[in-house]
Structure formats: structure tokens, C-alpha cells
Amino acid sequence: QMTTVEMEQRVVALKEKFGNRLLIPGHHYQKDEVIQFADITGDSLQLAEQSALNTEAEYIVFCGVHFMAETADMLTSERQTVILPDMRAGCSMADMADMMQTERAWSELQSLFGDTLLPLTYVNSTAEIKAFVGRNGGATVTSSNAKQVVDWALKQKQRILFLPDQHLGRNTAYDLGIGLEQMAVWDPHENRLLTEQDPETIKVILWKGHCSVHEKFTVENVMRQRELDREVRIIVHPECSHEVVQLADCAGSTKFIIETIRKSAPGSKWAVGTEMNLVQRIIREHPEQHIVSLNPDMCPCLTMNRIDLPHLLWSLEQIEQGSPVGIVKVPSHIQREAVLALDKMLHIV
Ligand code: 13P
Ligand code: SF4
């Protein structure tokens, strides 16, 4: 049994040994014990772009969740191997839209709307769903560029189907001036639109998915923080519900949250509605400000947190021994179509 210090030393030694043959991207929600070894850190968009730019690393040990590793695999070359240090690091939101449900929804929606519909998917989705979107002319979006991509999409077609996060879809469309009465939720379990209104009036169809972390930030949390301190500003991720985002002072991607707080004056007071590891890191990096989690219970992304120091070390050791495990390889027929959707996004933004 190795101590933490021994494990850290071993990771340092292996990183030195591999040099540029190894790249470790780390998402902002990763634990500090992992993020300290990341060569690049960022939100989903930054990590996708940075991975695409890297051509020399033979091994990309992706500290994030499965859909991010898939994206990195699709945007890097054939020679590069993407590894997820724990295959159980999935995303509950991505799992809320599977291919069968999506094909079924699409055929139903085609009969309602014909050719007036363009699909978009949040990058928090499987490569298969991205491929579905790609072959139907749509694009992926991230929380950093959702507004630009949805705006683009609504110039291409009369209406959009937004997968799989209803909240990011609703919050983004609302920001673009689309009223809630022009949006309807698609329930993949009931296989129908949850609305009584005339389908003709609907511009945005929201897949009934959500993030189990961000749904834990509630209207009551916002009220409570404001009761405790009238000066506190509330900043949340757009995966939070529409009600919470509307009540908040500002909302935006992980990168937006980090930068907004970084730029604010000493003594500023913030209650932050996003994943626990990131909130704790922001608190530590800004002792000159008063920062708390919007939900005092703290909300970890349990699947992200499956990647820890022992798993990181283990996957590096497997590479060293010449038998890498946890390889994420998207089949080429899926990759071909999914890349269409990813490229579209990267060109729009
Ligand atoms: P971003 O990194 O794009 O802000 O997304 C947050 C998230 O939930 C990642 O899974
Ligand atoms: Fe998925 Fe939410 Fe975790 Fe992001 S924070 S990986 S959306 S469950």
C-alpha cells in the first residue's frame, strides 16, 4: 500500500519519463489530487480544442468523463490513444439520451414537423448521439458557446431539437428572446411532447434530460443566501433550472464563472452554483473574496470524482508496462458523422 506522497512521486516520475509522449487534460471539476498533474485544465470546450491542437502526445490520459474522452479521441489523430483512468466515470446526463430513444423521437418529430427541424446536442452526450446530429445537419454546443450555436441553428431551420439537457437548452433559447411558450419538452420515456399547445408555435424542443449535480441548486438556496446577506451575488452554471438562472445575478459556463470571480473586486461576496471541487478551488484561490457554495451541502459530480490519484497512477503504470487499459476508441463510422457536428461547432464559434 503506497502513501499519497509515494503515489504523487511516482506520477511525477512517470510524467517525466514520458515527456511529450503523454498529455493529461483535466476538467475543472476534477479533484485537486488529480488536477495538480494536469498539463491543461479547462472547461469542455477548452479541453476539446486543446486536445485537437496536440499532435505529438501518443497517450492522452483524460481526467474527466467518458463523453469528453470520446470527443478527445475523435478530434485527435489515429496514432494517438485516449485513455480514461476509470471507465466508470460516465455522465448521468449523457446517459439520458440513447440512440433508440433518439431515433424514435426523430421519426415522431419528423411526422409532426417535417423538414423544419434541426437537431443540436450538448457535448455532454455520447459519440453516437453526436453522430446522429451530424448526419442530420446539426451541431454540438458547449455551455460556453450555446448562444452562438442556437442562434446559428435558428437561422438554418424554423425549429430545433436540443439534446440532452433541457435546462441549458431552455436558458439559452430564453436568452435569445424565445419565450417559454415557444418551447416544449420531449419526454423520451413517454415518447411524446409534453404540451397541449399547437405544434406550429413551437420553436425549441427540449429533450427531458438534466444534470444531477446542477439540479441540486434550488430557488430556496437562492432565497436563503440572499436572506443571509443582501449583498451576495449569485453566479450559476446554465445547467441549473430556469427559475434558478433567472433569480441569479449571472449565469455562464465553468470558464465564465472562474473569470467573473477572478475579475471581481476584493471583498466581493459570491454564492456559486456549480460542482463542488471547482467551488472549493475558487474559494481557495480567492481568499480576498467571500465565496460560498450556493447549496451549503456541496454538490460533487460523483462520476467525475471516480478519477482519483490511485486511478491516475494505475493508468500511467499500465502504459509504462506496455498494456494500456481504459482505451476510449470511437468506431470510425460513428466518428465520421460525429466529427461533422463537432467541426460545425468549432467553425461557428
Ligand atoms: P463546462 O465545462 O462546459 O462548463 O460544462 C460543465 C459540465 O457539466 C461538464 O460536464
Ligand atoms: Fe454530467 Fe453533470 Fe457531472 Fe457534468 S456535472 S459530468 S453534466 S453529471
For a mutational test of ligand 2's pocket, the pick from 303, 305, 306, i.e. the residue with the most ligand atoms closer than 8 A to its C-beta, is 303
How much is the average pLDDT of 106-126? 96
Is 214-293 a CATH 2.70.98.60 domain?
no
Nearest ligand to residue 165 Cα: 2
How much is the average pLDDT of 227-250? 98
Q: Please tell me the CATH superfamily of domain 94-211, with its number.
A: NadA-like (3.40.50.10800)
**Helix 146-156 and helix 332-348: axis angle, to 10°?**
100
Q: Among residues of the chain, what percentage have pLDDT more than 90?
A: 95
Number of Cβ within 10 Å of residue 286's Cβ equals: 16
For residues 77 and 55, is the Cβ–Cβ distance under 8 A? yes
Nearest ligand to residue 254 Cα: 1
The Cα–Cα gap between 337 and 339 comes to 5
Instruction: Specify the CATH number for 4-90+304-330; select among 3.30.420.40, 3.20.20.70, 3.40.50.10800, 3.30.499.10.
Output: 3.40.50.10800
Instruction: Copy the grid coordinates of residue 260.
Output: 467573473
- Read off the pLDDT band of 216 (50, 70, 90): very high
What integer pLDDT is reported at residue 296 of this predicted model? 94
Of 322, 329, 328, 325, whose CA–CA distance to 312 is shortest?
325
Q: What are 43-83's pLDDT values in tens digits? A: 887 887 898 899 999 999 999 999 999 999 999 999 999 99
At residue 131, the 3 state secondary structure works out as helix
* Beta-bridge mates of residue 182: none
Q: Is this prediction's ipTM beyond 0.90?
A: yes
Spans of all domains in the chain: 4-90+304-330, 94-211, 214-293
Q: How much distance in Å is there from the Cα of 294 to the middle of ligand 1?
A: 17
How many CA atoms within 13 Å lie on the side-chain side of 24? 23
Is 213 a pocket residue for ligand 2 (Cβ < 6 Å)?
Answer: yes
The structure's pTM equals 0.96
Is 301 a pocket residue for ligand 2 (Cβ < 6 Å)?
Answer: yes
Say if 4-90+304-330 and 94-211 have the same CATH topology.
Answer: yes
- Read off the pLDDT band of 269 (50, 70, 90): very high
For residue 65, the ligand 2 atom closest to its alpha carbon is: 6
The Cα–Cα gap between 48 and 25 comes to 9
Q: How much distance in Å is there from the Cα of 320 to the middle of ligand 2?
A: 30
Residue 122 marked as a ligand binder: yes
The Cα–Cα gap between 196 and 191 comes to 15
Instruction: Copy the grid coordinates of residue 308.
Output: 482519483
Nearest ligand to residue 251 Cα: 1
How much is the average pLDDT of 231-242? 98
Please say if the pLDDT value at position 116 is more than 90: yes
The pLDDT mean for the chain works out to 96
Please say if the pLDDT value at position 349 is more than 90: no
Is 124 a pocket residue for ligand 2 (Cβ < 6 Å)?
Answer: yes
Residue bearing cell 449535480: 213
